[in-house]
Amino acid sequence: MDRIDDWRSNGYMTSTSEIQTAVVIGGTGKTGARVGRGLTAKGVRTRIASRSAGTVFDWNDRVTWGPALSGVDAAYVTYAPDLAVPESSSHIAEFADLALAAGVRRVVLLSGRGEPAAEKAEESLSCSGLEWAVVRASWFAQNFSEGYLREPIRTRHLALPVGDVAEPFIDLDDLSEVAVAALTRADLLGRVFEVTGPRSLSFAEAVAAISLASGRAVTFETIGLEQFSEEMTAGGVPDGMVDLLSYLFSEVLDGRNRFVTGVVEEVLERPARDFAVFAAEAARTGAWS
Ligand SMILES: NC(=O)c1ccc[n+]([C@@H]2O[C@H](COP(=O)([O-])OP(=O)(O)OC[C@H]3O[C@@H](n4cnc5c(N)ncnc54)[C@H](OP(=O)(O)O)[C@@H]3O)[C@@H](O)[C@H]2O)c1
């Protein structure tokens, strides 16, 4: 039986018993797959859930939520398509209520920096009565190697509606290790972990680092928002996703998130991985071949 440790000053009960079972919502994605592997390596029985996973979970189909949550101690939650969409906070509030009712103890939510809608969703979780933590991330380094920026890097020309704004890109291995720590360590509960890489780079500098690491010259061009939207639409990207990316590039990438935090170092007791190290590893493993 769980041993109740104490009432923390942040107002919810924490338990010293270990997390034995977990579900990863968005478990086939970039962070979800890493968190799933990290939990399994720690001996946590882990269920992978998404629209295409063995455990079917769809944010747009509430019937799928209950079965995904049944019989687990904890959940790592990535929201799709992005917490920036207006319905995210009501979805997270409903999800958290259901999780509590299903006997889930702890939820760790992946969030984004400097996004008002994401902060509302974080609040939905922190008010839920669950043990909680938020991993609030800067832009992912792996957007360049596993996400929507991979193909332009592969074809050696990246054009984005962003100038010389600096961003401390976070390596997803670091982010996921912090998420696994938050899921498995009671001392990390009730906190927002704002994770960043160790230095800020502009997109042009990031592309230069990738060119250097891969030995393939990649050019970077700043384009207007309208041209960006037109090109995305012409390339078959759905309207909703074009709007979302346009919002992220035009409003969130305005320099508000350029500062570096020491959270990775604090939680993992080692430095955060530098973008150049990420780029070398991605090149070595054939991300852009
Ligand atoms: N990219 C960034 O730089 C950045 C920065 C900060 C925060 N974030 C946040 O990161 C989250 C994305 O995490 P990620 O990069 O690890 O994931 P990802 O690689 O984008 O993959 C998306 C995951 O969500 C699942 N999914 C898609 N639509 C779904 C739906 N309707 N219902 C349930 N699952 C669905 C996908 O699997 P199926 O297709 O099988 O459903 C997949 O497992 C977003 O919430 C975003 O706000 C991103």
Average pLDDT over residues 263-277: 98
* Distance from Cα 220 to the centre of ligand 1, integer Å: 26
Q: Is residue 145 part of a domain?
A: no
Contact 225/242 with Cβ under 8 angstroms? no
Mutate to test the pocket of ligand 1, among 35, 77, 110 (most ligand atoms within 8 A of CB): 110
* Residue 157 domain flag: no
Pocket test for ligand 1, best of 50, 169, 245 (most atoms within 8 A of CB): 50
pLDDT tens per residue across span 54-110: 999 999 999 999 999 999 999 999 999 999 888 999 999 999 999 999 999 999 999
Residue 80 Cβ < 6 Å to ligand 1: yes
Residue 52 lies in a domain: yes
User: What are the residues facing 171 on neighbouring strands?
Assistant: none
Residue 79 Cα to ligand 1 middle (Å): 6
Nearest one of 235, 152, 162, 239 to 201, comparing CA atoms = 162
> Ligand 1 pocket, 287 CB below 6 A?
no
Ligand 1 mean position, distance from CA 29 (Å): 6
Question: Is residue 158 included in any domain, yes or no?
Answer: no
Q: What is the DSSP letter of 48?
A: E
Residue 184 CB-half CA count within 13 A: 23
Read off the pLDDT of residues 11-41 as tens digits, 9 standing for 90 and up.
344 444 689 999 999 999 999 999 999 999 9
CA distance 216 to 166: 23
Q: With bands split at pLDDT 50, 70 and 90, how would you rate the model's confidence at 9?
A: very low
Residue 151: inside a domain, yes or no?
Answer: no
Q: Determine the distance separating the centroid of ligand 1 and the alpha carbon of 255, expressed in angstroms.
A: 24
Number of domains comprising the chain: 1
95 lines ligand 1 (CB under 6 A): no
Binding site membership of 258 for ligand 1 (Cβ less than 6 Å): no
DSSP character for 249?
Answer: I
Domain contains 46: yes
Cβ of 30 below 6 Å from ligand 1: yes
Q: What's the mean pLDDT when you consider all of the chain?
A: 93
Closest CA to 127 of 169, 172, 180, 89: 89
Query: Is the CB–ligand 1 distance for residue 55 below 6 Å?
Result: no
Q: Closest Cα to atom 28, ligand 1: which residue?
A: 80
Q: Where are the alpha helices (DSSP H) in the chain?
A: 30-41, 65-69, 88-101, 116-126, 150-154, 172-184, 203-214, 225-234, 239-247, 263-268, 275-284
For 26, the domain range is: 4-138+170-196+259-273
Residue 202 near ligand 1, beta carbon < 6 Å: no
CB 216 within 8 A of CB 282: no
Q: What's the rounded mean pLDDT across residues 180-204?
A: 97
Residue 144, ligand 1, Cβ within 6 A: no
Nearest of 191, 93, 86, 88 to residue 135 by alpha carbon: 191
Report residue 1's pLDDT band, with 50, 70 and 90 as the boundaries: very low
Average pLDDT on 217-236 reads: 94
Q: Note whether residue 222 is domain-resident.
A: no
Taken in order 85, 51, 77, 105, the sign of the CA dihedral is positive
On whether residue 287 sits in a domain, the answer given is: no
Q: Is the minimum distance from the CB of 220 to ligand 1 under 6 angstroms?
A: no
What the block records as the tokens of 127 is 């008010």
ω into 81 cis (within 30 of 0): yes
- Banded pLDDT at 252 (limits 50, 70, 90): confident
The pLDDT score that the predictor gives to residue 13 is: 42
CATH number for 80: 3.40.50.720
Residue (of 80, 38, 73) closest to 57 by Cα position: 80
pLDDT at 8: 35
DSSP one-letter code for 79: -
Tell me what pLDDT residue 17 has. Answer: 62
Report, as an integer, the average pLDDT of 261-286: 98
What is the rounded CA–CA span in Å between residue 78 and residue 76? 7
CB of 283 within 8 A of CB of 215? yes
